[in-house]
Structure 1
Amino acid sequence: MKNKQHIILALLLVIVAALSRLVDHPMNFTPITGIALFSAFAFEGKWKLIVPFSAILLSDIALELSQGIGFHNGTILVYTGFALMIGLGYLIIKKANLLNVALATLAASTLFFLLTNFALFYPEATTANGLMGYPHTMTGVIASYTAGIPFFKNMLIGDLIFTGAIFSVYSLANRFILNKSLA
């Protein structure tokens, strides 16, 4: 069981990461994967879900109110992908080391990309924002994944940077401020 200082530090890191979504950044270069994986490691029980979902939901509300981009027709897929990333973090990151965190980040990023770009989840007709959906065929699926590759590149870079930064700050704070090593 983690002590009160560890929980406060972990909460602060999740809050700062979620707030970073509100500043201008390249498309898909966000801390979402880092928040999911770190929360799976840092919190216990139901808090593994409550903390990260609260952070993402509140930042999505702020994005919707300030820029009109917090929610869209794929929001349910995004939140489903987020839940799956938390599950991956729980399964892979038993000990926070470079290998485990890197593997979990790559797996979570790839899973999220595959889920949120799967063309059969989207309508074939014109959507409310004017974008055309992909045909519900293997050609449509391939076209959707192909169109998503530039976004995946930004996402993967952001995921590696944000996840690495969150875990590194947590580790350094534990070592030099709280004088504890990570389990």
Structure 2
Amino acid sequence: MNPNSNLQRLAIVLAMIGVAVASRLLPHPPNFTPLAAMCLFAGAVTVSPRIMAAAVIIAMLVSDAVLGFHSLMPVVYGCLLANVFIGRKLLGANANAFKIVAGSLIGSVLFFLVTNLGVWFVAYPSTLTGLTACFTAAIPFFQYTLAGDLLYTGLFFGVYALAANSVGAVRGKLQLATVPARVGE
């Protein structure tokens, strides 16, 4: 194994943590962050989704240390990490545009439902009226979650596909250039 590849992987993970922390600390619409997309991408593409999941937890802890800790952190973190599982099981190595969009939508809906059940449990009356009020109040936040998840998922997978195609094209040109020389040996 190339020792530089471990350094490159570490640099990528640290860069993603930095982007995730910045995305939460800089002004942005509520819930419009790359964290769910990072987890979905990690599950589908990376060799070690555990490392990427740890990166998301670190990013959340660092940014929550600035923003403030709250009682629903385990629920929020768990919902984000569910995207690693969604990416691994739904998308896997055979990800296509339909599966990527579906995975992102599933993650967004899961986050909306589970985190708002948590909010209902801690902040609203334990009645059907309280549940209805909680989810009604959460609807405006869902549009940002959905938009952020779709945008960042498209960005991560799109850049990855472009990079993979570029590398493949370069490798193809190199192989075409070297194969005739080997054949003539």
- TM exceeding 0.5: yes
> CA separation in 2, counterparts of 1:45 and 1:162?
18
> CA separation in 1, counterparts of 2:102 and 2:5?
29
**% of aligned pairs identical?**
36
Match of 2:58 among 51, 54, 58: 54
For the pair 1:22 / 2:20, whether they are aligned, the reply is: no
Q: Is the 8 A contact 2:36 2:83 kept in 1?
A: yes
User: Match for residue 134 of structure 1?
Assistant: 124
User: Match for residue 161 of structure 1?
Assistant: 151
Which has the larger helix fraction?
2
CA RMSD of aligned residues (A): 2.7
Q: Is the 8 A contact 2:91 2:99 kept in 1?
A: yes
Larger Rg: 2
Match of 1:32 among 35, 45, 70: 35
> CA separation in 2, counterparts of 1:85 and 1:112?
9
User: Match for residue 97 of structure 2?
Assistant: 98
What letter corresponds to residue 109 of structure 1 in structure 2?
A: S
For the pair 1:116 / 2:129, whether they are aligned, the reply is: no
SS class of match (1:118)? helix
Deviations 1:114-138 (A, max 9, x none): 0000157633xxxxxxxxx211122
1:16 is displaced (CA, Å) by 5.3
Q: Is the 8 A contact 2:40 2:87 kept in 1?
A: yes
> CA separation in 1, counterparts of 2:78 and 2:108?
13
SS class of match (1:93)? helix
User: Match for residue 146 of structure 1?
Assistant: 136
Q: Is the 8 A contact 2:39 2:56 kept in 1?
A: yes
Q: Is the 8 A contact 1:119 1:136 kept in 2?
A: no
For the pair 1:172 / 2:176, whether they are aligned, the reply is: no
1:32 is displaced (CA, Å) by 1.6
What letter corresponds to residue 164 of structure 1 in structure 2?
A: G
User: Match for residue 127 of structure 1?
Assistant: none
TM-score (norm 2): 0.75
User: Match for residue 86 of structure 2?
Assistant: 88
> CA separation in 1, counterparts of 2:119 and 2:33?
25
User: Match for residue 4 of structure 1?
Assistant: 5
Q: 1:40–1:83: structure 2 CA closer, same or farther, 3 Å change rule?
A: same
> CA separation in 2, counterparts of 1:102 and 1:109?
11
Larger CA deviation: 4-13 vs 112-121: 4-13
Deviations 1:28-86 (A, max 9, x none): 1111211110111223263243233223333333xx1xxxx242232121112112222
